[in-house]
Structure 1
């Protein structure tokens, strides 16, 4: 199934916090946009060689608009600077998606943890949990209160939301969320890598779902050469130790969607027909890795000598 791709118009730009810009996108002809569920993100093409992924943080029930929020990152790779400095109301941007590797699974209880701009995928999850009648709490941290986006929208949830700016309360009290997790509770967390690492170390097994904006540091084995067989054409390629599967198939003239090349966005996820992937991404769950039915070909490799992909 092909992804939706279109040029959307910037309908509204609003400050969501210090250094955070909320951008509302609509179809220029008023056409309805594809449905999405909490946790989804879209690819936004800001220019040549400038494509970024942003979580949808608006209302999934609104078919006419998509909202994203972009943190200004002075040391970033140019995407946030473009949005904050060059994007204007009425401008058009090409988008693709939505995709969702952070879907909210049904549960009677949730505990949400967000750090900084990590509130974006969590925000629509709160509304979904509320609508489903689930019990939930949110622990939301940031550098300062002024830097934390959407705190005004969170006020309607009352004391189920704990806003904890670091300059006021110190580091997040993860023990209050993770040390006594009732059976049937799911934990969802998004934010900086250090926060996610801390949550992963402390959360009970089997309850945690995270989304990373930066690749997770992983121990990997030595890169070796292996064959990549393209099932749709029967072609066999050789993937050298110092070349990714993505670059190998692209060099052979195969068109493949990709974006981050870091294993965080999921754009290049490819079905595996045969062989055992050496997963090195920051997207797939432990269950998905164990199943070995798909892989992110920008970073993952092969545990054997031969890999057959649905390309």
Structure 2
């Protein structure tokens, strides 16, 4: 069991510090209640925050890379909150206890000739540790950071310390990030790491059609909306459990598995957190997540059973 473990793989933590980072954005420093080091992590990682009201949400780690005495996350107060960000802003205070799961990393930061970072609003949180690592290594990098206003852009004061490598685009005074400015550095062999609103990531997806393969890596707040697909009944054979489960057209794979007594780890149930990643032994998945790249989807060796289905009548999964 990991250090400071609570129930069901949870870690018991408390709010060590809370700070305002921008209009509508707070950061939380979370430390282990037992005083032991938290699990190691790398840029791009996130945790599941398990709130006292039972709500569970995913937040990127944005503190100093490698720091284990505490985790830092940033939380924007959402107008249409379903109980996550609203609870954090309204009720969490220093000293309060809660739990976390993870960390997990679906947005791994890998060596490249150079880097282009693109962030919109609270999407700066997974990017910030990457910037810190790139700067500490003396790498060639640029950051394009956008938001509604400069006062709504978190960690802006810290980022300005990097000088001209950081290009700030508050849309009320400067306008949106110009993707044409990215073409030359990407052609030169850069990796592009981006996180932000769906409109920004959609524009980047379009721009990336002219970039080298696998140049773009995205961290999404929600899985992309694909064209409506017909859901047909499928059979899922669970190799480890030695059970075969029928999945109806109107239910998800994970729901059918749970009805059969098989309970994969789940959290977001929307294809973005990665907790339900499952090995595919046979059959062709119909990927509907917001995590895997095109080449990873084509490999067909893993899938996320909360949202994805099958292109074949039968799947064999390692469950």
TM-score between the two structures when normalised by the length of structure 2: 0.94
Post-superposition offset of 1:159: 0.5
Aligned to 1:280: 288
Q: Is 2:41–2:65's contact at 8 Å kept on the other side of the alignment?
A: yes
For residue 187 of structure 2, give the secondary structure of its aligned residue in structure 1: coil
Post-superposition offset of 1:221: 3.0
Distance 2:241 2:220 in 1: 34
For residue 10 of structure 2, give the secondary structure of its aligned residue in structure 1: strand
Aligned to 2:5: none
Tell me which of 69, 73, 80 is aligned to 1:75: 80
TM superposition outliers: structure 1 runs of 4+ over 3 Å: 1-4
Q: Is 1:35–1:60's contact at 8 Å kept on the other side of the alignment?
A: no
| CA distance 1:198–1:245, shift in 2 (3 Å) | same
Distance 1:192 1:210 in 2: 11
Tell me which of 65, 68, 73 is aligned to 2:70: 65
Tell me which of 223, 242, 250 is aligned to 2:250: 242
| CA distance 1:95–1:77, shift in 2 (3 Å) | same
For residue 169 of structure 1, give the secondary structure of its aligned residue in structure 2: coil
Post-superposition offset of 1:255: 2.0
Aligned to 2:219: 211
Aligned to 1:157: 162
Mapping of residues 260-299 of structure 1, within 5 Å? 260-299=268-307
Q: Is 1:36–1:98's contact at 8 Å kept on the other side of the alignment?
A: yes
Gaps of 5+ in 2: 3-7
Q: Is 1:220–1:280's contact at 8 Å kept on the other side of the alignment?
A: no
For residue 54 of structure 1, give the secondary structure of its aligned residue in structure 2: strand
Aligned to 2:109: 104
Post-superposition offset of 1:181: 2.2
* CA RMSD after TM alignment: 1.5
For residue 78 of structure 1, give the secondary structure of its aligned residue in structure 2: coil
For residue 169 of structure 2, give the secondary structure of its aligned residue in structure 1: strand
TM-score between the two structures when normalised by the length of structure 1: 0.96
2:149 is the counterpart of 1:141: no
Aligned length: 311
Distance 1:49 1:303 in 2: 35
Distance 2:66 2:276 in 1: 28
Distance 2:257 2:42 in 1: 32
Mapping of residues 106-145 of structure 1, within 5 Å? 106-145=111-150
Distance 1:259 1:62 in 2: 25
Gaps of 5+ in 1: none
Aligned to 1:50: 55
2:10 is the counterpart of 1:8: no
Cα displacement string for residues 252-288 of structure 1 (whole angstroms, at most 9, x for unaligned residues): 1112211111111111111112111110111111121
For residue 267 of structure 1, give the secondary structure of its aligned residue in structure 2: coil
Distance 2:46 2:19 in 1: 19
Q: Is 2:29–2:73's contact at 8 Å kept on the other side of the alignment?
A: yes
Cα displacement string for residues 125-156 of structure 1 (whole angstroms, at most 9, x for unaligned residues): 00111222210000100000000000111122
Post-superposition offset of 1:294: 0.9
Q: 160-169 or 217-226: which moved more?
A: 217-226
